[in-house]
Structure formats: structure tokens, C-alpha cells
Amino acid sequence: MTNQATALRPSLPDNQRRSLQAACSRIAPTWPLDELIAVNPWWEMRDEHVSQVSARLSALTQANCVMPKAYFQEIWMETLQPQHLEAAIAEFGKDYSVETMERYLLNEDDQTHWHNISDFVDSGPNRKYKMAWRDEITHQISQFCADFFRPQNVGSAPYANTYQGLYLEWLRTTRQDKGIEILMAEDGLTELFNDLPESAEALLAEALIGLRVPEGETAEYSHALLLDINGWASWVAYLRWQDRLSGHDNDLMMDLLAIRMAWEWVLWRHQKQTDKVVFNELKVMWRHQMTIVHDLIQNHQNSQEKSWIWQRAAEIAYQSTLHQQLKYSPHAEQTDAGKTPTLQAAFCIDVRSEIIRRALEAQDPNIETLGFAGFFGLPIEYRPAGTDIIRPQLPGLLKSNIQVAPILPQQKTASIREKLNKKARWIEWSNAPPSAFTMVEATGLIYAFKLLRNSLFPEDDSHPVNHLPVSDAFELTQDQDPLSLSQKVDLAYGILNAMGLTGPLAETVLLVGHGSSSCNNPHASGLDCGACGGQTGEINVRVLAYLLNDPTVRDGLRAKGLIIPTATRFVAAMHNTTTDEFTCFGEDIARNEPVSNWLARAGEMARQERSIRLGLDHLKEPVLHKSIKHRAKDWSQVRPEWGLSNNAAFIVAPRWRTRGINLQGRAFLHDYEASQDLDASLLTQIMTAPMVVTNWINLQYYASVCDNHTYGSGNKVLHNVVDGCIGLFEGNGGDLRIGLPMQSLHDGNKWMHEPLRLSVYIDAPRNAIAKVVAENEVVRQLIDNEWLFCFHWSQQGDIDRYLNGQWLTQS
């Protein structure tokens, strides 16, 4: 490229740059497999109404944000009745009859969709018997990204610096790849790539001019291109998310967009050079499409209106049943506030905790359980013994500011480090491509025996870090300085107040984290605690128990007016959500016969309830327990548990208001006492953090069911992990797959997750709820744009919905 040619390259006008940035900002992140958390794939478009986003995505990339008509046909006159449909029609302000809505389900959709240039070229007569450009472009970009984004020693540097030069490196790689011309049976491509600008901005400017993309359509066209490689765009959005948490800027998405648009520009010029007749047709179709893109989106919105009425009717069907349960709760009277519980147990708000909490409470009327975010208010990252690994143990929305490490003898730490180094060298060799097929031959019977043993006697396959020694004492540091006593006291004081553990305390207070058990499962972290960054909650509960049992911390709390009785012990525990077994740390619970018996019987009750969804309800204890434990260690088991499937509600209220109600493992439960939160500060925390996290979980499950091709990861049996746990491919290529696999959502005969937007119920004064909404834009967007439903649940059992600044009475 000559300096003169470079100087003649066009530059991006400010308005066009803003349009490109707007398109780049619409992509939500996806977390790596070893830190996997659920994400709302439409998070970055929450400022628009859900139906508008749905229409745009349907028009631009044929993605589905609402279930197909066949699904509504299936549930019609089953869970969904005429009165629910009529209520939904009225809510939309329409006068459709039930018969009109039924006919709609029988009509076939015939909608025009947006076509990128690669799609137009694929439809041409000269490509009828050749590989599709859309597939080749996706494959080429995907394979390049998998290699480019291999894990590097990032340290404290932002990802934008670590992975700088994304576009230029792609261009160099593509210029050297002579195989594309052969594979696609097209000559002259190499010269066109050689002629491309060497900066992303120059490429975007040149392509937008050459393709004659109007300024008003730039954002939509660019968004359509990114949606073509949505998996890798989501990964780049994750790198951007992490950089922004650290206060850094990140323009990697613009580079990725430039790569995808470069392919469009090359194909446009190639068609012009090789087939003038076809190119002239392409030019006319392309120009016409540009003039109607906004009408196209509006047409999709009009077409989808009745589908959204059906969707709302399904949600009303669920809500109406739940409203009756909440209104006539059998335990809807406050417990004696001055009575000391026999046992207290704080659980994560995870929907799987609802079943085990109900089972534990059934053991004794004086057992009290609480629901709190699973990271237990600790903004920490964990450094395991003998390693330099730093692992976040908090929600992806937040940035950690405290580092914790177990306190172990120096000799033991050195021994751990030596063993890990040996194992790392083995893993590096065994996973290297040249040795992948020779390892079994090189190690002979040793490795063959291991393969046989794993088949006949399966073992736990959890993350290796989880097997490293953990003590009951921890070093807490902030900016490499040890936390002072006053800082520890303030941290403990804030957590206890947020949890509501300020009244009479039982002698034993369980702090229950949760984790799962499965083998040969790349999505294993997704079954652990999302509030702990896709890890188990063990570290968080052990650190909190260490703090709250520290006599010096207790003295500091006493000085602040919060007294913990000397007899009270905080016990860290883990609930295995796959097997419903409890493990307690630091205290010998086995000696406490009542508590150990309660936990054992609660596990039995929970397993029996969950056995129905697992298809094991024909089994009884102890055979059922043994069967479930085997599932957890079976490397061929694609459905070890159902995770958070069928989640549908988030209830923010004192536990006494829901105690005794069977919520079927579908509700996130967060304890909250409005009378102890006069300034609504705790309510603000709940609505801006846990409520957002539950929205992410809910809409990832929803999206993965509505469109598993776009927002799910397909068939788990075909998964191949991309190096460094970035993500996975389905098969050996295609785009990076995000979201949940089919086996996490469908049992082979029916959906195990009912796709409903989250219903949030809050026991707090209506003015307090309205105040939080008014003062927090993100919360207001989620509610007013109907990404979730917000309800006030009064002490009398009445339920009102909050929408667009108004309270709407619910029947």
C-alpha cells in the first residue's frame, strides 16, 4: 500500500461513527465457560420496548424473541385459558375476538427479511452448486477469532491493549490464505483483500461509501452484520464489559464489525468484476432494500403483535395462579419477632433453594430460613493456595475490591504449587494438537485404565481449583493491604443488616452456598452460583463465617449496637443442587444430631420432589439418592439436573409471607423487611442488583427456548470447547455458540422451561418502589419496556402492577 493511496482513503464522518458505535453497543456479553453466568442477550437494548427489539431482530436476522405459533397452539386450552387471552387482549387495548386470535395461530407467516450482500450473492444462479458465502464467512471469521483470542497473560492491562490489532491481524491472515479462492471456486479474491485499507476505520469509511449506505441506515446494516457473527460479537462485548469495569475504553467491537464489513465490500467488488449482469441486479436489490429497512422493521412489529398478545396471555395464566397463592397464603401472619429460632439457615435466592428451604422448614416449625444473594454481600475475588489465579466470586455486574486467600502453612503452599506445576505441564502436553492422538499410545495401559475407570466408576469432574485445600481462616486484602479491623466490622455490619440477621439469633446459623455436580460438562459453571461469578458459593460462605465468628469483629459489631450472642456459631455449608446433599465446614455438625438429621431429611424430601422432573419418581430412598449421585458422576449424562429452568418469579418479602406456599422451584426468594428500611436503601440495592441478575437469568432461559439457534448452544453432544474456555462450537466450526444447550431446556419430549418474562413481587410501600424506579434508569427501562413485570404485594394480599409511573390494580 503506497503512502499516496493511504492518504486518499476516506475518513468516517462523526454522524456515521456514532451510528456504527450505536450498532456496536447493542451486543450483550457472554462470559467464558469457567466463569459462566446467565446473561440477558438483549441487555444492551433494554432502553427500547421488548416488542420493538423483537421486530428489529426478526427483520435483520430472523431471530425469534417470542415463541412460534405451534407453541401457543400446544398450551391453548391447557395451561392457557380463554380468560387469560381476553385479559391480554384488553391489556393491549385491542378488540380482537378469541376466534380471531385462534385463526392467527393457523395462518402462516410470510415476512420479508433483511439480506446482507453475502446473502444476495448466495441467491445468485452461479452459486447454486457452490458453498454458501454466508457459511464460509462465518467459518473463516470464527476460526480466526478462536486463534486470535487464545488466552494471554493479560495481567492488569486492559483487554483492548492485549488484543489490539484485531482487524489488521485478520487482514494479514486472510491475505495469506490462498485456500479461500480454491474452496469457493472464485478467482481474484486475493487481489481484492490486498487492496483493502489496513485500519478498521478506513475500511468502514470506504465500504460505507462504496456500498452507498445512507447515514440513516448505517446502524441497522452494521447491527445486521454483527448479528451474523453474534457469538464472537458477544465474546468481544465481554472483553469490553471487563475493561469498562476497570475504567478502560475498548473498541474491539468496531474492529470485528470492520472484519465482517470487509467481506461485504470484497464480495460487492468481486461481483462487479466477474458478472456485470448479476451485479446490476444486486445493485438494484441492495438499493431498494436500503430504502425500506425501517418499514421492514415496522412490518415485523405489526406482524408480531398478536404473538405478543399470546405471550402475555401465557404470562397472565401463570401470574393469576401465583396471585391466588400469595393472596391466600396459609402462613400470612407475622411470626413472633422476639422468639429465638431453633436453627437459622441463609440460602442463595436461586430458584433451586426454594425447594430445599421448604423441605428444611418442614422439619421443625421453629426453623427459620432466609434468602439472600448467593455471594453473601462479599465483593471478593479468590486466590487459591499455591496459585497466581484470581477468580471473581461476585456477580458479573460488579467489580471486586477485596482479595481473599486461605491461610495455610508456608510448606503446604509450596507443596501445592509444585504439584500444580507438574500437572500443568502434563495437561499442556496432553492437550497440545500434535500429542492429542499419541498420548494414549505414549502412556499405554496407565491412561487406558483411567478411561476404563471413569466409565465404570465415575468420579467428580469439578474444576481443579475446587479441589485445592481451603482453610477456615482467610487473609483479606484491598489494594494489597490487609483489611483493617474497622473495615472488617463495617463489612460484616452491612451484610448482617442486609440479610436481616439483626434480631434473635439461633445457636447455629447456617450460611449455605450452593454448587452442582456433573461430568464431561462444559456448561458446569452455569449450574453453579451465578451470583458468585459462575463458581460455587463455598468460598463466600467460608469467608463470611470466618468474619462473623471472629471475636474481635464481634466486639466491633457490639460497639455499633449489633450483638451476636456468645453461643451463636455461624457455620459455612454447601448445598449440592444436583444431589440435594449438605456439606458443613469448620464445625462438627454431625455432633449436633438434630441439625444433621434435619438436613438429611430435608435432602430426602427435596430429592423426592425433584425426582418427578428427572423421570425418577418411580424410585424411593435410598435407591433414588444413589441414582441421582450416579447421574452427577456419569460422563455420558447430558441432563444431570435442570438448573434454573422454569424460573418465573422474584419475590422480595419477609419469609413468613411465603412460608408454606409450594412455589414449585420457580421463584427467586429474597428476604426483605420494609419496616427496617425506612430510607429504602436496601430496597434500592435489591432492585438494582439481585433483580437485575434474576432478569439476566430469566431472559437467558427465555431466549434459549425461543430461538436456540441464535441464543442457545444447540446439541450438547456435539460441543467442542474453544481453547481457553472462551466458549464452544457445535461441531467443528460455525459461530461461537452462546446460551444454553437444548438438553438443559428440553427432555426429548417437551420443554422443561416455560418461557415467561420475570414477574417481580415486592412487599414494600408503593411510594418506596416508585422512588427506586424513578431514581434508577436501568430499573425504569426494565419495567417500562416490559423486560419484566413489577408488582406491589400489600400486607393485605392485594397486588398492583407498576408501569410507566402508574399503579394498575390486578385481579
**Beta carbons within 10 angstroms of residue 804's beta carbon:** 10
Closest C-alpha among 224, 244, 245 to residue 233: 224
Q: How far apart are CA 90 and CA 110, in angstroms?
A: 27
C-alpha Rg value of the chain to the nearest Å = 28
**Beta carbons within 10 angstroms of residue 338's beta carbon:** 7
The pLDDT value given to residue 413: 60
The pLDDT value given to residue 424: 47
Q: Which residue has the cell 440479610?
A: 499
**Beta carbons within 10 angstroms of residue 7's beta carbon:** 7
Cell numbers placing 690: 439481585
DSSP-derived secondary structure for 396-455: TTS---EEEEE---HHHHHHHHHHHHHHHHHHHHHHSGGGTTTHHHHHTHHHHHHHHHHH
Q: Which residue has the cell 434474576?
A: 694
Q: What is the mean pLDDT of each run of 10 residues along the chain (811 residues)?
A: 56 94 98 95 98 98 97 98 98 98 94 95 82 93 94 67 93 93 87 96 97 96 98 97 92 97 97 92 96 96 98 98 90 64 97 98 97 96 84 92 87 60 46 41 51 54 63 90 97 96 94 94 92 94 97 98 96 97 87 93 98 96 96 91 98 96 98 96 97 98 98 95 91 94 96 98 98 98 99 96 96 74
Instruction: Assess contact for 492 and 548: CB atoms under 8 A.
Output: yes
Q: Name the DSSP letter for residue 613.
A: H
The pLDDT value given to residue 23: 98
The pLDDT value given to residue 186: 85
Q: Spell out the residues 6+ positions from residue 777 whose beta carbon is closer than 8 angstroms to its own.
A: none
First to last CA, the chain: 70
Q: How far apart are CA 524 and CA 76, in angstroms?
A: 35
The pLDDT value given to residue 131: 87
The pLDDT value given to residue 438: 42
Q: How far apart are CA 198 and CA 169, in angstroms?
A: 9
Q: How far apart are CA 416 and CA 420, in angstroms?
A: 6
Q: Spell out the residues 6+ positions from residue 660 whose beta carbon is closer than 8 angstroms to its own.
A: 329, 330, 331
Q: How far apart are CA 211 and CA 230, in angstroms?
A: 22
The pLDDT value given to residue 409: 74
* Domain boundaries, given as residue ranges, for the chain: 3-30+151-294, 343-408+469-809
Instruction: Assess contact for 675 and 682: CB atoms under 8 A.
Output: no
The pLDDT value given to residue 434: 42
Q: How far apart are CA 254 and CA 262, in angstroms?
A: 12
Q: How far apart are CA 786 and CA 781, in angstroms?
A: 8
Closest C-alpha among 528, 435, 523 to residue 717: 523
